Structure 1
Amino acid sequence: MKLKQHHVEKPWGRESIPQAFGPTNGKRIGEIWFENPTGSDLPLLMKYIFTNERLSIQVHPSDQQARERGLPRGKSECWYILDAEPNARLGLGLTDELSADELRQVAIDGRIEHFMDWRKVAPGEFYFIPPGTIHAIGAGITLLEFQQNVDVTYRLFDYGRPRALHLDDGIAVSKTDPYPEGLVRRADAPTDAILLDGPEFSVVRASRPDGIPASIDASRRWVMPVTGQVAVGDELAGPGECIVIEPAVAMEFANGTIALIGSEGAL
């Protein structure tokens, strides 16, 4: 089943995005969500993100923290960098551990920006963002995001934009320890690789079907080609598209294809 595109305007988005996504009609498109054409929710959400400005500094709750707040689930997410302008950066965790009171104060006065661990990024890199990680995406980046499908973001700082902040919930779920290096996969890693193995979902990068762990075949899979084309029966998907494949259904890769494949749980 091929998912349908949903364009999402953002104050930090772009008026010019790749032609595969159609015209923006002068709108600042920041995200392209891939949704079930039947209208029912899927447990995972795949999206493209295009940044012309910095996103807010934000954090997401875990499953348990979300349920305590009346939400169906928390939000783990991960990013695969497709393109990055020179000096484009991601903010991942803090450089110094702060108490809850200190975190609140630097969020209020804007100094939190200077406590963020800003890292230069390059195409092909992969980052897992567990719940509780204070994070931000900088300007000049195009990426693919895989996430648990829930719309919950606690903004701690938004560069003066007229949007609500969520300091009480955000501080309550935030971790202020450094971002773990083991959650990064570098661009020079093998093409066929397990990028993330659970717990909420898994992500594999593959250039051929036999480069994919056999265990994933027993799961429903979300497939997003980065290059080339993936065929599932009579359906084809290329860059800018996402297709969901049911358990035990086979797929074929055209020559030169590299795809990201997500599935629920661990492999």
Structure 2
Amino acid sequence: MQRLATRIVDKPWGRKGIDPRFHVDPKRQVGEIWFEPPADRPLDVMVKYLFTTERLSVQVHPDDIAAHERGHARGKDECWIILDADKDAELGIGTVRDLSPDEVMAAARDGSIVDLIDWRRPRAGDFIYNPAGTIHAIGPGLTVLEIQQAIDLTYRLYDYGRPRKLHPEEAVDVVRAMPHHHALDTHVGEQSRVLVGGPHFGVAWCAGAAPELPLLIRDVQLLPIDAPVGELKPGECALIDSGTARSLTSEGRFVLAWSTETRGS
């Protein structure tokens, strides 16, 4: 087991007084907690926590093909496990109807893109898969565990007047503006199961013990949620080998995330 270093990222939309398990100064306005890969071992999968009090930007990520064309190592599929949700929490994914590229550009310019997002009321335990090309915006009142392809590659369409760069031209070339319906979306419940099996990464929700895992998994990351797993505590993350992953047990719940990509792809 190799613990990964924690990186705390303050954000204007973040939250003060996050769960004590993260051992963060309660005065800090924390938006994200990342786990750094070892210096000598790059990882294809990134796992992080998000803590929100405001709407994040309306954005989209490119897929592998578009990212490669623009000189990036990979695109960005991601998924979310909602760990906690206030009664007024919201999350936007997909659009309320199909939009043409011209409609997306015009709506991004005048801000009406916000009203075209499909805003939902998520609840703790919801699992949502967000494939590259999908318009989305995480809203306030959420604690989210995000698993994604390991790249910081985001095209912002609209950001509520915040002084950050927007990327409408880049976004319009990769966006698929349509209602979001994904076969992997579910509610995790109290049963261990594999939530994602590829093509870029795998994710398992584990209640007490790991489910049966695929044969070919690599760079497995372990994240205890509400009880320790061995010496690893909630709020921490560690790299483990595939054999260890298959035999893990806990008095609580934990998440496993791993790469399914062929090295160099």
Aligned length in residues = 259
Corresponding residue of 2:259: 264
Corresponding residue of 2:205: 205
SS at match of 2:144: strand
SS at match of 1:79: strand
Q: CA offsets, 1:75-118, max 9 Å, x none?
A: 11110001110021110100111111110000010000000001
List structure 1 runs of 4+ shifted beyond 4 angstroms: none
Taking structure 2 as the reference length, the TM-score comes to 0.91
**Runs of at least 5 residues in structure 2 that lack an aligned partner in the other structure:** none
Corresponding residue of 1:117: 118
**Runs of at least 5 residues in structure 1 that lack an aligned partner in the other structure:** none
CA contact (8 A) 1:223 1:260 kept: yes
SS at match of 2:32: strand
Of 249, 252, 260, which aligns to 2:248? 252
CA contact (8 A) 1:122 1:187 kept: no
Inter-partner Cα distance in structure 1 for 2:36 and 2:187: 29
> What root-mean-square deviation, in Å, do the aligned CA atoms of Structure 1 and Structure 2 show?
1.8
Structure 2 vs 1, CA of residues 181 and 70 (structure 1 numbering), >3 Å: closer, same or farther? closer
Q: CA offsets, 1:102-144, max 9 Å, x none?
A: 1000001000000000111000111111000100110010010
CA contact (8 A) 1:81 1:123 kept: yes
State the identity as a percent: 40
Q: CA offsets, 1:161-185, max 9 Å, x none?
A: 1111000111111001210142311
CA contact (8 A) 2:10 2:30 kept: yes
SS at match of 1:237: coil
Inter-partner Cα distance in structure 1 for 2:215 and 2:18: 32
Corresponding residue of 1:99: 100
Instruction: Indicate the larger mover: 23-32 or 108-117.
Output: 23-32
Deviation at 1:207, TM superposition (A): 2.2
Inter-partner Cα distance in structure 1 for 2:21 and 2:216: 29
Taking structure 1 as the reference length, the TM-score comes to 0.91
Corresponding residue of 2:237: 242
Read off the aligned partner of 1:60 and give its amino acid letter.
H
SS at match of 2:195: strand
CA contact (8 A) 1:216 1:263 kept: no
Deviation at 1:24, TM superposition (A): 3.7
